[in-house]
Amino acid sequence: MTIQPYGGVLVDRVAGAAEADSLRGAAAEMPRLQISEWTLSDLYLIAVGGLSPLEGFMGREAYESVVEHMRLPNGLPWSIPVVLPATDDEAAALSVGQQAALYAPDGELAAVIDVAEVFDRERAREAENVFRTTDDAHPGVAAMYRMGGKCVGGAIHYVYGKDITGFPAENLKPAETRAAFAAKGWETVVAFQTRNPIHRAHEYIQKCALETVDGLLVHPLVGETKSDDIPADVRMACYHVLLDGYYPVDRVMLSVLPAAMRYAGPREAIFHSIMRRNYGCSHFIVGRDHAGVGDYYGTYDAQKIFDEIDLDALGIEPMKFEHSFYCLRTKQMATAKTSPASLEERVFLSGTKVREMLSRGESPPEEFTRPEIAAILMKSYQARG
């Protein structure tokens, strides 16, 4: 069974060699927009099909439909607006019908956009609807407020020739993960989203999911995250050690997702699942406080939102897991569904707790994470002081 891309066609907006050379030659005469790491991530994912069916950045109709109704204008569920921000000065230099050059943070030409629209971004309304708060202490809201107040909509032509992840060997495009799944004979694949090292609770729910599907895609997000999140290179070292030592090699695959982290909780859970469908997955793990931060979302809000949308249209099956813990009575991982332990006999695990222990110079115990992972994390924190 082949999982169809979202919208039916896997988008490819990467310019061929001849087109790329032509665009690079013409870019000097085009209006210029400077883009951030966040926008470069969105740009790349549009180009390789990770955000299919988008062929470019959203125009006003799509933007407003997503912010207000969590749908694209064609009716497909979609939860996060994907827009190209611009400053007032940048927007003033644009004309609908022309092309503009998008430059990456390193100064290289990243893409050319066919300017179809320029419109105002309603940031307060977007924050309230997407993030459920206008509090600029929320990292996603703060990042949005730092962006320009205009948006530029239109199809893109991607020409950036560099890897944007730092992990080129593990940066498989959607077409490549799909080919890999087919080669392995996997018809059902569950994706696991993470921006933390995998601790014992994560491992438990992944392996529970793996009991019912053919394969597991560990798909860590390696785009822009909060400054206090564990760096991607440290996390990747942890993933390799864990998968090599504790997982069946023929049932699991590691690839990175070059997306920026929005911390949009429930809406981002939907967004993450759409991308994983494009990468060829049939199932998506949704655990406790998916894509959450602080106290902005309820513990299981990211699971409840899947009850509010058309799952047939979404086309990927959410696998919902309760908060798992290490049970001191049974000496194993469990949830309230499987353990008779009292609250005092439950060791609850989270990325936040692991980071807190490391910041105090404490090595996480084996109930939290595998010893090899604890050693990598301790070395990293000691090196950073």
Q: Which of 13, 121, 196, 235 is catalytic?
A: 196
Task: From 69, 64, 59, select the one nearest 117 (Cα to Cα).
Answer: 59
C-alpha torsion 226→72→257→197, nearest 10:
50
Under a CB-based contact definition with an 8 Å cutoff, are residues 129 and 74 in contact?
no
Give the Cα separation of 351 and 347 in Å (integer). 13
> Does 196 participate in catalysis according to the annotation?
yes
Any catalytic annotation for residue 24? no
Helical (H) or strand (E) element with 252: strand 252-254
Q: What angle do CA 344, 347, 348 make, to 5 degrees?
A: 115
Q: Is 343 exposed, middle or buried (0-12, 13-18, 19+ CB in 10 A)?
A: exposed
Catalytic residue, candidates 178, 195, 267, 288: 195
Helix (H) or strand (E) holding 317: strand 317-320
The three-state secondary structure class of 237 is helix
User: Both tokens of residue 263?
Assistant: 């911390």
**Cα(380)–Cα(234) distance, rounded to whole angstroms?**
7
Tokens of 104: 């990456």
On whether the CB atoms of residues 152 and 115 are closer than 8 A, the answer is yes
Token pair of 340, please? 């008779």
Catalytic residues: 195-196
